[in-house]
Structure formats: C-alpha cells, structure tokens
Structure 1
Amino acid sequence: MAPDQTDSRVDLAWETLLDLEADDGPLVERLEHALRDAVSTGRLPAGAALPASRRLAESLGVSRWAVTETYGRLVAEGVLEARVGSGTRVPSSARPVAPRRRPATRSAARPGAVPGATAPSGTLPPTAPRPGHDLRPGVPDLRHVPRDAWVRATREALAAASNDDLAGAPAAGHPAARTTVAAHLRRARLVDAPDTAVVLTRGATDATARLAAALHAAGHRHLLVEDPSWPVLRDVARRAGLEPVPVPVDAGGVDVDALVAASARTGARVALLTPAHQFPTGVPLSGERREQVLAWARSVDGLVVEDDYDAEFRYDRRPVAALQRLDPERVVLVGSVSKTLSPAVGVGWVVLPVAWRAAFADVPGGGPSVLDQLTFARLVAGGGYDRHLRAARGRYRRRHDALAAALDEVLPQVRLTGLAAGLHVLAHLPASAPDAAEVVRAAARLDVGLVDLRRYQCRPAATSRALVLGYGNLADARLAAAVARLAACAGPAGA
C-alpha cells in the first residue's frame, strides 16, 4: 500500500474561506455558524490550527472581539480546543459529516446537449527578457517563489513515494494529490465537490484547452467570452474549433443581457467567465449577475467555465466564494498556481461536473509529473502554501497601495478602476495624454514595460487611453522610478 502522501507535519487552516453572508443575524452568530460548518464538513480538518484572533479579524474585516467571543463559544462546546502555547485548533477527534447537497433544479448539463464552447486561460510564455521596470500584468513576484519550501517538500515527497508512485502518472492525477487539492479548494474557495471531481493538469491553459476539445467533440462550435479578456483563451478556443463570441463587461462584470442575446443569436450555451476578479477590468461579477448567469445556464441546459483568476488576492474586502459552489453541475472551475507560485511550476486543476468527467477523460493529454503533484500536496498539507499565500497577499497589498499613491502624486489625472485585488490595476489616462500605444512605445525606450488595454479587446478600439498596469513582478525599489518614467511618457500630447 502506498504511503499517505498528504500526511505531513502540521495542518494549518489559515486559508479556509468562511462565508459570513450565508446567514442573517448578528455577526458573532454568523461567524460561529461558518466555523462550525467548516469543522463539521471537514473543510477544517481534525487537528488543524486556526489563525490567531487578531489575524482572523483582520482577514475578515471584523472586530477582534467577535473572533475571540466565537472562539470561546466553540471551545466551550468542544467544537474547537484551546491549547496553551499552540493556539486554537480543531480537536484531533473531530470527524466530518457529509455536506448537505442542494437538490437539482434542472437536468445536469449533458455533453451532447450543449452546442457552445469553452476556452482556456493562462499566461504567455516569456519570449524576451522582462524590462527592468516591469508594469506588465500576468506574472507574480518571481523573487519570492518559496524555493526552500519547495525543495523540502520535494525531498519529503520523494522519500515517501512508493515504487508504484514512481512507475507512472494516473491520467487524472495521483489520488493523494487530488485529495489534498480538493480539500484545499473546499477550504479556501468553498468549492462544492468530492475528490473525484478534481483532475490535475499542467496549468489552467492546459485544462481549458482539453475542455474545449471535449466540448468540440460533443458538438460545440461557439464560446461566449468576456470582452476584454486574456487573448490566449480565445486563441486556444479557435484551435479547438470553437469560435469566440465576445460579450461586453461593465462595472458589474459580464453584461448578462448581452450574454443572453449572444447565446440566442449564435446558439452558444457555454460561457467562459472570470467571476472573482475579471481580467483585465478588475471588477467582480456582482451577486445578482451570478444568479442571472446560472439561471441562463439552466434555461438553455448550458455550462459556465469559471476561470478562478488570481482569486486568492483580495485586499479591500473578504474574498468571495467560487461561483462553482452555487451550482456544481453547471460550473466547471479551472485554476492553477501560475499566479500564486510561478507559471514554471506547471500545476493546475479542473473541477468537473459529473456529466463532463468522462468526456474530459477521453481527450488526449496528461497532467504534471507525479513528483510535482506530490511535492505540491506536501507544500499544501504541511502549511507551506498557506504561509506563502499570506506573505504574498501582504506584499501585493502594500505594493498595490504604493503604486496607487505614487500615481496619485505624479499623475493625479489618472483614474484607477477595479477592485483592490489581484496583480494589476486598470489605469485611465486623461484626454490630454497621447494614445496608449504611443505611451507603451515611449515607455519601452525607458526600460518600462506597459500594456495597452486594446491588447485584450476582441475588437481593438481605434483609440485608447487605458493601460493595464501589473505590479506582481515589479521590484519595490523600482516602483517610484517606474511611475516617474510612466509620467514622463503620459504627459499631454505634443508636450
């Protein structure tokens, strides 16, 4: 019997997403219910360490008193336990119960019933050295990839691996790694799915490319995509034989009325969306529109592909749960570590409804190496991934705020839109500024990397004064200089 690859050191629960909006009533009661539900369903596993009350209060945006009061109640009931010197934990004797399943309201999406399409997500591979002042989106802070933690996890995974583990790669991923990733998604994104719904892939682009092929094989020929959106998604869709159908995005996310009209016009019944943090506009899909999108999918017996793009990084409010949770048989969730660790790691996942698992398995392709899968599982189960996410979130939040402050100081006419989240902002230049394409070219001569919003538009506008500014891989020491050089290029036209 193969060793349990997920049984490592200490199990931390600091990235567990608590849904405080699921119930009405006083805050303490809602927090108590959310924690109790997380323990009873196993999203907070037996023995897991909870954050200190101050840290949890900060992450939830609530008072520390509310957290300490809730901890005290649950400790008194035995739901949690408090140990001197080791904080608050889930008792080692805790046993999860099966979560309540929502009754199906309509027939599940069937592979042969949807004449739409779906496309992928990912990042373009670097083809040239990145500029010294890098304000381009799509890449995390490569200076802080947790190299030492990854090396330790690799050693542990390799030492624990059996001969059978090293003999080959199961098509859907190593069972222990799938279990660990599934548990992480249930904790951190409130995903509603069993371990068997998770398939490990080489990344989000790989996952969605294979999904697009499965949809094409089932008869799909169109894909509803957000406009603007990541162009790689549209290119992969076309290679799979799916024609992207652009749907505009506004301050509330994708325009659902336009989506419904485009679906009726083309027959497309699959939509690829980024609900948590739309790229590149930076807006979330509103709660009302979440329900409307799912209502559309049910009405046409359709499917939503949820690209969980940089959902781990929210700075001004609590993260929202994955759209997948609202209807697990209508939503395919796609994610990866390309934004949290590095695109080079090459580990991703897809969470599939029952009706699409066989069709996805029929598409040729394979996942990441077994050793990389088991290494990532070790990093997650040992708490290293949670620690890295916490550190990265704080670093990106400070950098986001510093970038906004620097822009306000030297370019006060620039208007920033989108959430304080992720690794980019959308900057609108004043009407007196040159066209964005000219700004990009001028900045390149000063070793500053910029991207015009038109790069992501399905039908690029004739003129543009919007830049997508990434700060993920921008060195803090070069931030002020990068903004100063941007200001020199974005001054009044002809100045």
Structure 2
Amino acid sequence: MMSSGTNSRPNRSQGGEFGTAAWELLLPAAAAPARRRGRALQSALREAVRSGRLVPGTRLPSSRALAADLRVSRGLVTEAYEQLTAEGYLRSGRGAGTWVSEAVRAPVPGARDLAPRAEDVRVDFRPGTPDLSLFPRSAWAAAHRSVLGRLPHGALGYPDPRGLPVLREALAALLSRRRGVVADPERLVVCSGVAQATTLLGFVLHGRGMRSVGVEDPGSPEHSALFASAGITTIGLPLDDEGLATEPLVRSGVRAVVTTPAHQFPTGIAYSAARRGRLLEWARATDGLIMEDDYDGDFRYDRAPVGALQGLDPEHVAYTGSVSKSLAPGLRLGWLLAPTDMTDEIVARKRTMDLGNPAVDQAVLADFITRGGYDRQLRRCQRAYRERRDTLTSMLAEHFPGTEVSGIAAGLHIIATLPERYGPEAAFMARAADAGVALRPLGNYGTLPGEDGAVRLVLGYAHLAPADIERGVRLLAAAHRGANGRAAGGGGRVFI
C-alpha cells in the first residue's frame, strides 16, 4: 500500500504493475485547479496508455491508494477509472482490480532516421558528397560564439524571408568576386540549398502558367523530382561535346531550362563559349529562363574556373548555389538570384514556405565569409580534392589500362570509361558489389548515345581519403582478375 506522505513513491515493480515513472505522469494533473482536476487526471491517464508508458496488462493501484498518493479525492480517481473503462482504455472486474486493456495498441516509441545511409560497403565511390571531416569545426564554433555575443535581440525574431541583410551582402560580394555573378543583395534570396531554390522557381513558373521545363539528359535526377513537387513536368534534352544541344531545345517548345554550364553533371564537360552564347540567344528570343545550377563551380584544378553564365545576362538567368559541397550539406544554406521581375514572387513564396532560414546560422555564415574563413576553406578543399582526383586517375591507369577519364579537371567526381574487355557493365557492377565496392554507372543519370559494351562509371572521390581510393580500385581489379580465373577454369559464373 502506498503512503499518503508528501514524499511518498509507490514501491511497485515494473512489468505488470503501476511503475513510478507512470505514476509521476499524473502529478501535474493532480496539481491542476480544482475545477479542471478531474478532466486533467483522465487526460493524463489516457495519454499514458496511448503513449505506451502504461502497457497493456499493467495493474493500476486501487482508487483509494492512488487518491492518497496524489492527494486528491477518491471520487476523482474513481470517476477517471470509470470513464477510461467505458472508453476501452482500462478493464476491471469485481474484486479483480483495474488493469490497462489489451485492446490498446500503443505506438512503438522512437524516431526513424530517414537520412540517406550507405549500405555496408568497404569503399563507396558514389558521387555527391564532400569530405565532411574537412568541415572547419573550430573556426565555425569561434564564429558562432562571436556572432551570439554581439547579435542584437531583435535579430532573433522572424527574419526577412530573403535572408539577413548582412548575409545577402556578404554573399553578393563573394559571388561577384569568385563567380562573376551580377549580385544585387536586394535580389538575392537565401534558401535551404539548391533544392529549395529549384522548388521556389518551380512554383513561380507554375503560377505563370508554365507546365514543363527542359533538363539536361543525362543530368541530375533530383531536378525532375523537385519540379514535379511544384506541378511541373521535365523534358530531357540531349547534350553534345559543347553542352546542351540548342536545336532540340528549340524544338521542345519549353521556355525554361535547367543547366550546369560550369561543370555539367554528370558528364563533367564545361559548356563552350559559343554554346553559352547560343543559349542566351534562345532565352532572349523566347523571353525564356535559364536556371544555372552552379553546384561546384569553385572547384577547378587545372586553371581558374569559368565564370557564371548569369553574369552575361542576369535578366534571363536564375543563378543557384550552396555551401553543400564547400562546407556541408547538413547546413542547408544556399542562394537564388533571379531576374528582377521574378524576385517579388519568389520572396512571397519563400515567406509562405518557411518564413525564412534560421537567423543564427545565417549570421554565422556571414561572419565566416567576411572574415576570410570561407576562402580559406575553399583553398583547403581544393588542395585535398585535387590530390584525390589525381590518385583516382593514376590508380585507374595502373589497374585498368586503357581507361578514359573524360570531362574537365574539376568538381568532386570523374567519368571513367573502361575498355570493353572489362564488361559487360552489368557483370562489372555485380563483381564490384560482391567485392564490397559501391559504384554508380553513368546510365543511371539518363540517356547515353549508343551502346558499345564499355563500362561507364561516375566515380566520386572527394569524400574518400587517398588510401581508401587506392584500396577501392585494387578491390575492383582483384574482382576482375578473379572473374577471369573462374572463366578460364570453366567453373563458376563467367563475367567476360
């Protein structure tokens, strides 16, 4: 029996008995104003059953004992027990006590993590991720402390949906200097990465009556999904050696197209000057829009990166970028510079979408940029990624002779075309999976011209240490040699 003293606690075991943790859930209800105490007690008991804190089969204390321990009237407890019994949460029998009903199916507690995770692989060459260990933790933490120490209280309110003025000014100066962008801070909108920038553009285009946009083929599959969320379909448009082919673009009838001209994803080519000019001519003739996804424009290893297309015609190019490759995708910080006549609509949509990005994170990035931390981070990443690209290309040349690496020396991935003797591609991918090496073929990103039996791979290297790159290529080579041995011996599965 529980004592009615002020500091009493039920001395009952868990698992079938009314435990201490569940009993304490009722204390706030017992302290409610007298006129609401009965309903509060019923609600607290009901929620304890629903949440699984009181599991089916748990025996509750007698109404007299619980009333004494909670220091409420016995009538309140009796009424609560009767109400929840009538609702099916509890069951009781004459002389048998009160129990949590087995009819209740409480949810299993716990939160799922829906972030993408790599399978259990030994080396993962799939592209798209920077080296997160290069994130400048100490410098970022110092900027965070500095910002919080001087940030006025008013800055913690709802921010300008375009972004904090201090960040928009810092980004405008950075993009003008590094990427040749025409960057007016009044037209710059801070977004949750390029993904949100794309979605914002999609909603605005849809509101103007547009129902389809062109995308590069091959290209990023994410663009189609993002535009679909805004009710817009995508039309794949082919590439040639200079970039997006303009004749199919004209024939398609679209008036907006997504491009990656500085470093086309995934083929790795840079649009030629002539092709950039032709695209702008198309946009001016049709009053069309070019969305420029500058996803890794800062990473060029053999020369200065080509400037952004937007700098040539800011009224026909919407420019997007983010810190996902330079700092970390988890920061969810990016930007959108759109033509003047679209800016107000984009800002209005951004306001209704999320009321703006977190103010403190924006202020920290602004401080990091203006104090030179961002430039230092880019130089650090460029050195590391150049070394890793060189390691990957030299290892492929050593272990897979005749492999062609196409595209410019830039970005976070390469396109490697292995000779026919290493195919067919499906068999090569199967061997890689058996060896614990994760790969992604170029065919996953769209239409490829012709089939010649070669193995074409999109190999990410930025997130891998040089030693891991070497190990991964050796594992692939060993898997190929093993397949050759089995074929020569006449046993097992024949791959080539």
Q: How does 1:135-174 map to 2 (within 5 A)?
A: 135-174=125-164
Q: Secondary structure at the match of 2:237?
A: strand
Specify the alignment match of 2:245 in structure 1.
Answer: 255
Residues of 2 paired with 1:210 and 1:288: CA distance?
Answer: 30
Q: Could you tell me which of 255, 259, 262 is aligned with 1:269? A: 255
Native 8 Å contact 1:452 1:464 kept in 2: no
Instruction: Give distance in 2, aligned partners of 1:419 and 1:125.
Output: 31
What's the counterpart of residue 378 of structure 2? 389
Secondary structure of the corresponding residue to residue 389 of structure 1: helix
Q: Tell me what 1:187 maps to.
A: 177
AA paired with 1:407?
A: L
Instruction: Measure the CA separation in 2 of the matches of 1:297 and 1:387.
Output: 36
The match for 2:394 is 405
Q: 1:330 to 1:490 in 2, by over 3 A?
A: farther
Query: Higher Cα Rg: structure 1 or 2?
Result: 2
User: Is residue 279 of structure 1 aligned with residue 269 of structure 2?
Assistant: no
1:289 to 271, 275, 278: 275
Q: 1:359, CA displacement in angstroms?
A: 1.6
Q: Classify 1:250/1:489 alpha carbon distance in 2 versus 1 (closer, same or farther; 3 Å).
A: farther
Higher helix proportion, which one? 2
Matches within 5 A, 1:56-455: 125-129=115-119, 131-263=121-253, 268-363=254-349, 364-366=352-354, 367-455=356-444
- Segments of 5+ residues of structure 2 without an aligned counterpart are 1-113, 485-493
Shift of 1:128: 3.7
> Size of the alignment, in residue pairs?
368
Q: How far did 1:489 drift?
A: 4.1
RMSD: 1.9
2-structure distance, mates of 1:142, 1:424: 16
TM-score using structure 2 length: 0.71
Residues 350-407 of structure 1 deviation map (CA, whole Å, 9 limit, x = unaligned): 0111111012123232343111111111111111110010011011111111111111
Question: Structure 2 counterpart of 1:286, which letter?
Answer: S
CA offsets 1:282-303 (integer angstroms, 9 cap, x no match): 0011100000000000000101
Letter matched to residue 437 of structure 2 = V
CA deviation profile, 1:111-169 (whole Å, cap 9, x unmatched): xxxxxxxxxxxxx9523457441211100011211111111111111112111101222
Residue identity matched to 1:154 = H
Which one-letter code corresponds to 1:478 in the other structure? D
Higher relative contact order (CA 8 A, sep 6+): 1
In the alignment, the residues of structure 1 paired with residue 436 and residue 182 of structure 2 have an alpha-carbon distance, to the nearest angstrom, of 45
Residues 212, 240 of structure 1: 8 Å contact kept: yes
Query: In 1, Cα distance between the equivalents of 2:433 and 2:357?
Result: 36
* 1:459 Cα deviation after fit: 8.2
Q: C-alpha distance in 1, partners of 2:427/2:232?
A: 34
- Partners in 1 of 2:449 and 2:274 — Cα distance? 29
Using a 3 Å threshold, how does the CA distance of structure 1 residues 298 and 405 change in structure 2: closer, same or farther? same
Write the letter of the residue equivalent to 2:332: G
Shift in Å, 1:332: 0.3
Structure 1 residue runs of 5 or longer lacking an equivalent are: 1-123
Contact kept, 8 Å, 1:150 with 1:379, in 2: the verdict is yes
Q: Which residue identity lines up with residue 231 of structure 1 in the other structure?
A: P
